Amino acid sequence: MRYDLVGGAPRSSSSIRIGKAFSTFGVWAWGDPGRGSVVVRTPQGFGDQVVGDPMSISSSGGAETLRATPAEPEKFYAIVSADNPLAYTTDRLSLDGGVEIVVMAWPEDHAWDDTVAKTLRTAMPSLRDLIGLDWPVAHDLNVRERYTPALEGYAGVFFTESQRIDVSEDLDPVVIVHEASHAWFNDQLFVERWIYEGLAQDYAWRVQTAVGGPVGEGPSRPKLDDPGYVRLEAWTFPEVIRDQETDDHERFGYQASFWVIEQIVRSVGVDQMREAFANAQANLTAYPGAGKPEEVVHVDSWRRFLDLAQSIDRPDQVDLVKAFGDFVLRESDVADLVDRAAARDRYRLLLIDGDGWLPGWYVRQPMGEWRFDVAGTRMTEASAVLALRKHVDGAAAALGLEPNGALRTAYEGATNGFGGAKSLAQAELDALAAIGDAKAKVEAEPDLLAKIGLLGETPSVPYAAARDAFERGDVEGARTSAAVAAALVTSASMVGQGRLILAIVVAVGLLALLVILAIAARRRRRRRVLALAAEPDVAEPYATLAADPDAAPAAPTERPPDAEGGPGTQL
């Protein structure tokens, strides 16, 4: 039996499409059991696919032949789809940002070609700006027209590996933008289906709203008793939709994911979502510190998506526990959300207490890994360091000093505990105590003995050196110099006392020496007098000659003056 198939027009109720680029139709068989056969010959240039009962495909001269010999012909049914890629019309769109799109339409369907091209030309710039990421497709993105049944029940499909879009012949701009957004929103960005499908629908709706195009149905909260209810955490791609249960699950999944994602996007804002997408693509931590954000190797699951979307810098503005508990997570995972909320509240208090000091990776890493018990213990350690910091700042301010930032660096750079930061803080406190002690001693008014002891000494010099060393971060040098200054003042009285005693001893010694020298000088004078008195008169040559030189001299009648007895003393 031979018969002709009349193809239905695009978007008609007919299940048959016969065109130059694409054809699809059902195939039946008739005949007695074991004696029926089916043969389908497609024109040259067409490639064929079969859904349903199997058919063999052979090729000759560029044309294909499909055959089947069913054992029970009356039960045989298959759908044949034939595609001729060279027969599609092509409309190239070259947009800003390196976006190259080729719209591939059936030659008979100008309305689809015009609608898709116009929608993408209008929506893509807004979509790219809203997402904030560079265009990820390195080659042309082909957008091909398809018949809905050929898409296994879907209005559009984005093929991630080949980066190609098949879109139903239906003229639905939201579907067109939804599928185009999958160039960004796919399992390479976030692995869970409900996230990237919800994002695709939400951003298609937002873009169409922004450009004034058709927006379709907005987000609405699903009913918990919906026959298609499925927890989004377990919502996976079924490949095909061939029964009511699968259709119900798919309908519910799209509605629920759209609604949950919209709650998040609306609460944090599109600017924060841009940052979240950028950090997800770059594999950066959701808990940045003081330096360059660390790279992480976590799978971008719903946990990481939530952390990236809800910046720790701001309070979580929507309570997602109920929404996630109702539509997304198992009960055990909802408990993780409760623990997360408590840990994030405590982390924010740590940020406030830090007053600009950000926790180190030692604290932030377990937060990003959802190890909140570990993070809690480490936040307690961090708080202890911040308490020491307050003591350091207070002691430094009292002395008019400014810590140099070494403690902050140790705190913010902690990767394996806060031992280094604690030791440094204690060393700074010790140095400040030494400087304070030196200050009190150096600036006190010295007594007389201390003034004597400080003659030639300048304790203000090592004291000033101690202050300078502290502000440079040389806490050991500061402590040493302060100790030197304090020691000079402390020992000044003793040194002064020693100097005074020495001066007295020297003075007494000098006085005694002077007395001795005076006595010695007096005795020398006395001896000279006695010596002069005992010498003979040697002035004869000047005397008058005696009359008789031979006469004897007269005897003396008086004794010479005696130094001891005085003149005229008689024996």
pLDDT digits (tens, 9 = 90+) for 322-374: 999 999 999 889 999 999 999 999 999 999 999 999 999 999 999 999 999 99
| 93 domain-assigned | yes
| 173 domain-assigned | yes
| 31 domain-assigned | yes
Q: Are residues 94 and 149 in the same domain?
A: yes
Q: Of 182, 131, 137, 188, nearest to 156 (Cα)? A: 182
Residue 117 phi/psi, 5° resolution? -65, -45
Task: Give me the number of domains the chain comprises.
Answer: 2
Q: How far is CA 467 from CA 395, 422, 440, in A?
A: 13, 21, 14
Residue 557 pLDDT > 70: no
CA distance 202 to 529: 134
Q: How far is CA 482 from CA 395, 431, 434, 544, in A?
A: 15, 8, 6, 95
Q: Are residues 56 and 100 in the same domain?
A: no
For the ranges 8-22, 380-394, 442-456, 480-494, the lowest mean pLDDT is seen at 442-456
CA distance 267 to 260: 11
Range of the domain at 110: 88-184
DSSP classification of residue 445: P
| 226 domain-assigned | no
Cβ burial of 22 (10 Å; 0-12, 13-18, 19+) is buried
Banded model confidence at residue 72, pLDDT cuts 50, 70, 90: very high
Q: Which residue has the higher pLDDT, 554 or 248?
A: 248
Q: What is the pLDDT of residue 254?
A: 98
DSSP classification of residue 69: -
For the ranges 8-22, 155-169, 523-537, the lowest mean pLDDT is seen at 523-537
Domain stop point among 48, 83, 118: 83
| 25 domain-assigned | yes
Mean of pLDDT values over 512-527? 86
| 268 domain-assigned | no
Q: What is the pLDDT of residue 492?
A: 57
Q: Are residues 93 and 156 in the same domain?
A: yes
Domain stop point among 67, 83, 99: 83
Q: How far is CA 464 from CA 349, 434, 479, 485, 486, in A?
A: 38, 13, 12, 9, 12
Q: What is the pLDDT of residue 161?
A: 86
Q: What is the pLDDT of residue 461?
A: 86
Q: Beta 141-146 vs 47-52: how paired, if at all?
A: unpaired
Banded model confidence at residue 563, pLDDT cuts 50, 70, 90: very low
Q: What is the pLDDT of residue 448?
A: 72
Q: Are residues 50 and 110 in the same domain?
A: no
Please write the tens of the pLDDT for every residue from 22-40. Answer: 999 999 998 899 889 999 9
Q: Are 23 and 17 in contact (CB under 8 A)?
A: yes
Residue 151 pLDDT > 90: no
Banded model confidence at residue 568, pLDDT cuts 50, 70, 90: very low
Domain stop point among 83, 100, 120: 83
Residue 566 pLDDT > 50: no
Q: Is 2 helix (H, G, I), strand (E, B) or coil?
A: coil
Banded model confidence at residue 486, pLDDT cuts 50, 70, 90: confident
Residue 532 pLDDT > 90: no
For the ranges 115-119, 380-384, 494-498, the lowest mean pLDDT is seen at 494-498
| 431 domain-assigned | no
Residue 23 phi/psi, 5° resolution? -140, 145
Banded model confidence at residue 451, pLDDT cuts 50, 70, 90: low
Question: Locate tokens 């709203």: which residue?
Answer: 209
Q: Which residue has the higher pLDDT, 367 or 508?
A: 367
- The full DSSP string for 373-405 is HHHHHHHHHHHHHHHHHHHHHHHHHHTT----S
Give the other-Cβ count within 10 Å of 398's Cβ. 11
Q: Are residues 75 and 93 in the same domain?
A: no
Q: What is the pLDDT of residue 501?
A: 81
Residue 225 pLDDT > 90: yes
Q: Are residues 52 and 102 in the same domain?
A: no
Residue 457 pLDDT > 70: no
Q: Are residues 117 and 144 in the same domain?
A: yes
Q: What is the pLDDT of residue 458?
A: 73
Q: Are residues 46 and 115 in the same domain?
A: no
Residue 569 pLDDT > 50: no
Cβ burial of 95 (10 Å; 0-12, 13-18, 19+) is middle
Q: Are residues 139 and 174 in the same domain?
A: yes
Q: Are residues 44 and 102 in the same domain?
A: no
Q: What is the pLDDT of residue 319?
A: 78
Residue 257 pLDDT > 70: yes
Q: What is the CATH number of the domain that holds 94?
A: 1.10.390.10
Q: Are 324 and 195 in contact (CB under 8 A)?
A: no
Residue 316 pLDDT > 50: yes
Q: What is the pLDDT of residue 190?
A: 96
Strand partners, 41: 65
| 53 domain-assigned | yes
Q: How far is CA 179 from CA 57, 137, 339, 448, 546, in A?
A: 31, 14, 36, 93, 167
Q: Is 30 left (phi over 0), alpha (psi -120 to 50) or beta?
A: beta
User: Following CA atoms 477, 479, 481, 486 in sequence, which dihedral angle do they give, to the nearest 10 degrees?
Assistant: 180
Q: How far is CA 140 from CA 119, 133, 156, 402, 491, in A?
A: 17, 18, 18, 60, 87
Q: Are residues 54 and 127 in the same domain?
A: no
Q: What is the pLDDT of residue 556?
A: 52
Q: Are residues 119 and 99 in the same domain?
A: yes
